Amino acid sequence: MATSEPVVSLRGLVKRFGALTAVENVSFDIFPGEVFGMLGPNGSGKTTTIRMLCGLLAPTAGTAIVAGVDVTTEPDRVKPRIGYMSQAFGLYRDLTVEENLRFYGGVYGVEREELRKGIAWAMQAMRLTGTANQLAGTLSGGFRQRLALGCSLLHRPQILFLDEPTAGVDPAARRLFWTIIRELADQGTTMIVTTHYMDEAERFERLAFLSRGHLIAIGTPAEVKATFGAGSSLEDIFVALQEKES
């Protein structure tokens, strides 16, 4: 990994909303096929950073290169190369599983034959076999999250951004979701994930901890814990930051 060129590279990224600085001088690299975590309490700048990397929000200052595209100057060029799944991903509850996949494939401009193959792949890879004709609104939380993940991958993006993807689903569903994330990473997709579950944070190859818009630690889970002193856990760090920011 160390010899690879980064697939995401931030340098001095800043985002201000009037007098509020949401992201302040953030710099880091993410490499191909990594499962990379972004952690921090609410308001720490995680989602704002992801929205800038996806070309959905213009930075105030700094640069961000994502999949070879400078999103600060050409945000529309990056969108075909990435996938984005928010916590509130917009599945259509009155459409079936297959109809949702077909709809999002059309949104991403996937050609008919590729879409047919993509739907078959998503049904298998996301463990959705047997649900093609089931209304999305009747699925359990874990099934809905896997369907949303499948929808965001139909155009086979290089990079997938997942913002709190397992919020509100049971532990067994979360474990299966992480099995799928690892399989996708092993196939070369770079996964950038935010979570507030610290047991999940141990699964990241590397992670960035943000607090009040600042990058305060980056590295493997072990390296980040060592930054905060012997015996620190990711849960301890997260709780301390929450208390500091409240």
**Following DSSP, what letter does each residue of 140-153 receive, concatenated?**
-HHHHHHHHHHHHT
Report the distance separating Cα 122 and Cα 150, nearest Å.
5
Classify domain 8-245 at the CATH topology level.
Rossmann fold (3.40.50)
For 221, the 3-state DSSP assignment is: helix
Report the distance separating Cα 179 and Cα 224, nearest Å.
23
Contact 192, 159 (CB under 8 A): yes
The dihedral region occupied by 65, where left means phi > 0, alpha psi between -120 and 50, and beta the remainder, is beta
Task: Taking each helix axis as running N to C, give the angle between helix 112-125 and helix 141-152, from 0 to 180 degrees, rounded to the nearest 10.
Answer: 150
Contact 207, 177 (CB under 8 A): no
Report the distance separating Cα 231 and Cα 225, nearest Å.
8
Contact 42, 246 (CB under 8 A): no
Letter for the amino acid at 32? Answer: P
Report the distance separating Cα 51 and Cα 86, nearest Å.
10
User: Could you identify the residue written with the tokens 């599945």?
Assistant: 91
Contact 218, 209 (CB under 8 A): yes
Domain borders along the chain are: 8-245
Report the distance separating Cα 5 and Cα 209, nearest Å.
22
Reported pTM = 0.89
In order of 39, 53, 94, 102, the CA distances from 99 in angstroms are 34, 29, 9, 5
Q: What is the pLDDT of residue 1?
A: 46
* Closest among 236, 136, 67, 220 to 228, alpha carbons compared: 236
Give the pLDDT of the chain (246 residues) as one tens digit per residue: 445 899 999 999 999 999 999 999 999 999 999 999 999 888 889 999 999 999 999 999 999 999 999 999 999 999 899 999 887 668 899 999 999 999 999 989 999 999 999 999 999 999 999 999 999 999 988 899 999 999 999 999 999 999 888 887 888 888 899 999 999 999 999 999 998 788 888 899 999 999 999 999 999 999 988 888 766 788 877 787 777 766
Contact 181, 135 (CB under 8 A): no
Contact 192, 50 (CB under 8 A): yes
